[in-house]
Structure 1
């Protein structure tokens, strides 16, 4: 299984934003430079995170983004599910497009279904706060001042 870059970048936006000093806003240009992601692509991700009420966007000259809730209230599993639109690991996971002749007897689909469920259980057990336990190191790597 592979997550889309869109999901990866959304998680990076949340990590970066959460790593800013209290009261300090993050902005699209900074995030773009740190992670080498196009500002246009980030704009779409930021818009989606705003629609999900995970971040707030502040317009204007000194605007930017900030988390809409504390990191301990942002569940990683929720973010992954919201950003991914397809968890069909095999053709047989999607009834409308399944043409595999062995589906009725196949055990593989059950194995992979269990694996997917286990993956989702693990990401459901973490919050953004759990990913920030090494915040000083993250800030240093992202070039965020601690002052």
Structure 2
């Protein structure tokens, strides 16, 4: 089941005729918002719980070009978690199921207050909702998860 379904807006297309690299990040940012809504941290949930998520790190991989008005579907898999962090893996696909891009992210749960935000464990209701997310065991992570950036070793 898709976490987010959207279409490539005309203003997202660059001089090469396909979606600009920054717009992939936009779609994954919208996917984080959709994830937040799924786990009870939509606007009302954030106010009620006085809690939100911050993105600590992201690794985006571009797999295929995307064009204007193309349908994009994003799914999420939970790779790991602790009391206040989520390690998630998003996959962006077209409506034929072709992998277009991935985004691996570390998200931090933050308690919000008038004097600022600070890391804090997930509220009980959010924790329960997180437990309902699709999980990939460490020995069965998606092929593109856990990658590091770098040139291949020289021979």
TM-score, with normalisation over the residues of structure 1? 0.27
The structure in which a higher percent of residues are strand is: 2
Q: Higher relative contact order at CA 8 Å, sep ≥6: structure 1 or structure 2? A: 1
